[in-house]
């Protein structure tokens, strides 16, 4: 099932301005040393990571 809202959304400046403005998209999710790391593209110009320790 799809979520009702966005999973991630542009918030930081580097997520808002680039080749394609106002865009974030998931690239991959990995479990590493007890943490979840979500890699995502930002504004079609960079790759960022979000980390969850849960």
Q: Residue holding tokens 């930002």?
A: 42
Say yes or no to pLDDT of 46 above 90: yes
Q: How confident is the model at residue 6 (pLDDT cuts 50, 70, 90)?
A: confident
Say yes or no to pLDDT of 1 above 80: no
Say yes or no to pLDDT of 41 above 90: yes
Q: What's the pLDDT score for residue 49?
A: 96
pTM of the model: 0.81
Q: Write out the two tokens for 44.
A: 């079609």
Query: What average pLDDT does range 11-17 have in this prediction?
Result: 94
Query: Residue 15 phi/psi, 5° resolution?
Result: -90, -20
- CA-atom Rg of the chain in angstroms: 12
């Amino acid at each position: 099932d799809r979520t009702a809202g966005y999973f991630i959304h542009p918030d930081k400046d580097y997520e808002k301005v680039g080749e394609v403005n106002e865009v974030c998209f998931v690239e991959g999710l990995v479990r590493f040393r007890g943490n979840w790391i979500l890699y995502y593209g930002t504004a079609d110009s960079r790759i960022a990571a979000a980390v969850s320790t849960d």
